[in-house]
Amino acid sequence: MKSYLAAAIQMTSTPDLEKNLTQAEEWIEIAVRRGAELIGLPENFAFLGREEEKLAQADAIATKAEKFLKTMAQRFQVTILGGGFPVPVKGEATKAYNTALLVDPSGIEISRYEKVHLFDVNVPDGNTYRESKTVMAGNALPPIYVSDKLGSLGLSICYDVRFPEIYRHLSLKGADVLFVPAAFTAMTGKDHWKVLLRARAIENTCYVIAPAQTGNHYERRYTYGHAMIIDPWGVILADAGEQTGLAIAEINPIRLEQVRRQMPSLQHRIFT
């Protein structure tokens, strides 16, 4: 693993698939021009609209999103995470997997994760979310992708961040970098987003790359923003704020080793 720049992209995705992909491409190109070698797109980067509309277009979204990720990775010669898009479930017309896909610079899929924890919550602002109505939960722990160049990368999606056992599994498997792409609600984000991300970084002494959605997507659907990159000590290295854009920061193996030497908590675990 060497030092390199990573970028967490922040978008305001809508129900317009083509517009979303165009927006994503623009930010990927900006990230590449700024030197990023590892780029993360947020959950729902390709489509953020009504659940019934998502299901009706799931085949098209999945096909175009996957092709887009592979094309962008190959064109710009970078590794890209598509942080979450619907992939239809075979034999189940009313459900899709919320899928994160990691693609290498040759355009080859190197890691895939189907979101396990589904957001079924009555939020205090009056909005009700029932992700399980249209999403099939994955049934496997997130994978680790080991790269000599980028380190060991662990995947997760949004609501997973509230379940620390996911990240403990990833750290046990040797993760250096934890991806948390999200479309965090504005209401919960203001109180919990930064706290949870910093906690996952600190307790696992890992870098956290958290691409995010921001603003108003349709009707009453608002997200919090603040895509960020956090170091293993819990220091926020970059924060995209509330506008579309990106957070970009260095992933440094020397810093990783330093923190793990100063705070060797991973070595002190009793229960695994």
Q: Which residue is listed with tokens 């459900």?
A: 95
Of the residues 37, 64, 70, 158, which is catalytic? 158
Extended strands (E) in the chain: 4-11, 36-41, 79-89, 92-103, 109-114, 120-122, 128-130, 144-147, 151-154, 177-179, 207-210, 212-218, 221-224, 228-230, 236-239, 245-251
φ and ψ at residue 27, rounded to 5 degrees: -75, -35
Q: Is residue 43 among the annotated active site residues?
A: yes
Q: How many CB atoms lie within 10 A of CB 270?
A: 4
- Please name which of 129, 209, 233, 123 lies closest in space to residue 161, comparing C-alpha atoms: 209
Of the residues 43, 54, 70, 206, which is catalytic? 43
Radius of gyration of the chain (CA): 17
CB 246 within 8 A of CB 27: yes
- What is the C-alpha separation between 195 and 230, in angstroms, rounded? 11
Of the residues 54, 64, 70, 115, which is catalytic? 115
Q: Is residue 158 among the annotated active site residues?
A: yes
Any idea which residues carry the catalytic annotation? Answer: 43, 115, 158
